[in-house]
Amino acid sequence: MKVIKSIFGGLAVAGLCLTTCSAVLAKTEIVIEYPYPDLFDKVHGEIIEKFKAIEPDIEVKVRTKYDSYEDGTKKVLRASMTKSLPDISFQGISRVRVMVEKGIAQPLDGFIEQEKDFTGKGFYDAMYQTCTFDNKVYGLPFAVSLPVAFYNMNLAQKAGYTVDTLPKTWDEVYEFAHKVEEADKEAKGFFYYWGETGFWQLQALLFAEGGSFMDAEEKTVTLSSEKGYQSFDKLREMVVEGNMKKDYDWTPAKTDFYSGKLGLLIASSSILKNAEESIGDRFPTKTSVFPGLHEGSKLPVGGNAAVMTATDPKQQEAAWKVIKFWCGIEGAKTVATKTGYMAPNKNAVATLKEYFVKNPNAVTVYNHQPYMTGWYAFPGKNGLKITELIQRAMEEVVTTDKNPHKVTDQLNSNIQKLIPQN
């Protein structure tokens, strides 16, 4: 009998093991990669835990974290050559185009069409149009940002300003900077984060005045034009007229703002939560409009989108569930409350009314929605090279006394050589 019991006991244990092992084997693993871990680690970690509760048969694993959007693009391009792509890559919105042109991004239209009332779930055309090429959708926006102004209200009040009298034009910004520096000899007036990823802040200056980088056919570069010159002139004007430090970059500017030594920082809305947590109760902050906006102005949508890179049908089905959840109500709410990014899902925004009452600084980016336009990416395989050229040209204008128009003309010529003409 003992032998029989032992046999049955062993079979029971074996059966339990087989059941457990089968459950483990039944799980589909989805590998994701994303940028800026300092901003997104908490966000993705929280969403992963929420996703586990509703999709226990899909295991989401984080493999690589990108230092920047450019870094993310380079790593995915390399991974495509070694056949080691993730299932989903969160790429800068301006980088989706190169993913499409390289055949890495997979179209999502078939999955969208299968959904019942996709629009009713909070996904709307204006958002995923940012990742639409040749009438096909290749990504869903996950985190959306726009450039906004961050004010140190202690320094602003010392300089004679109130919330209602903060600058709205660039001339008023320069005046504000001088008054802050006069009121507090240890303070700096303002910094425009011109070096932000993907020449994003140059696009803001150009699009705000109705300019463009290329003609409608995308054959001719149009920086050597009135609007193009104007955008680079504005960068130089910030140094000459606004006393912006020309040897200043993001790290010291951010440190100065967070420590209370900088009156105005113009940067992506995405830094809001990090800024508030770093500043604590040292001084009150106020977000406000991007300077100089008027009728016809546009601002480039920043942030990143979920791009499906999986090609196996089973992996794609699971990856689509992940993308829907990350870009749906729960994911969008997490992004909006943990960062300064805009929730790209209408239904998520509708649930955040109480949050906005308690966090009025978070509302500013939503007030910029009427100005939203695409984050431009140049056509062809040389997008990263062109980005580097533009960044160097911007640096020349800010940090040297070179004629901005000559710098712009040289840049225009250099980019034109890299544009495909067929």
Could you give the CA distance from residue 105 to residue 139 in angstroms, rounded to a whole number?
8
Res 89: pLDDT:
98
Over residues 350-354, mean pLDDT:
94
Residue at token pair 């600084």: 361
Q: Is the pLDDT of residue 10 over 50?
A: no
Q: What share of the chain is helix, strand, coil (3-state, %, to 5)?
A: 55, 15, 30
Give the model's pLDDT for residue 25. Answer: 55
Lowest-pLDDT range, 95-104, 119-128, 339-348? 119-128
What pTM value is reported for the model? Answer: 0.89
Structure tokens at 74: 């380079």
Q: How far apart are CA 84 and CA 97, in angstroms?
A: 20
pLDDT in tens, 355-401: 999 999 999 999 998 999 989 999 999 999 999 999 999 999 999 99
The continuous run of DSSP H or E covering 207 comes out as: helix 200-208
pLDDT at 129: 80
373: enclosing H helix or E strand: strand 372-373
Residue 106 CB-half CA count within 13 A? 22
> What distance separates the 2 farthest-apart alpha carbons in the chain?
98
**Separation of alpha carbons 97 and 79, rounded Å:** 17
Give the residue extent of every domain in the chain.
27-144+302-372, 147-300+378-416
pLDDT beyond 50 at 52: yes
The CATH homologous superfamily for domain 147-300+378-416 is: Periplasmic binding protein-like II (3.40.190.10)
Q: Identify the CA nearest to 306 among candidates 28, 30, 66, 34.
A: 34
Domain 27-144+302-372 -> CATH class? alpha beta
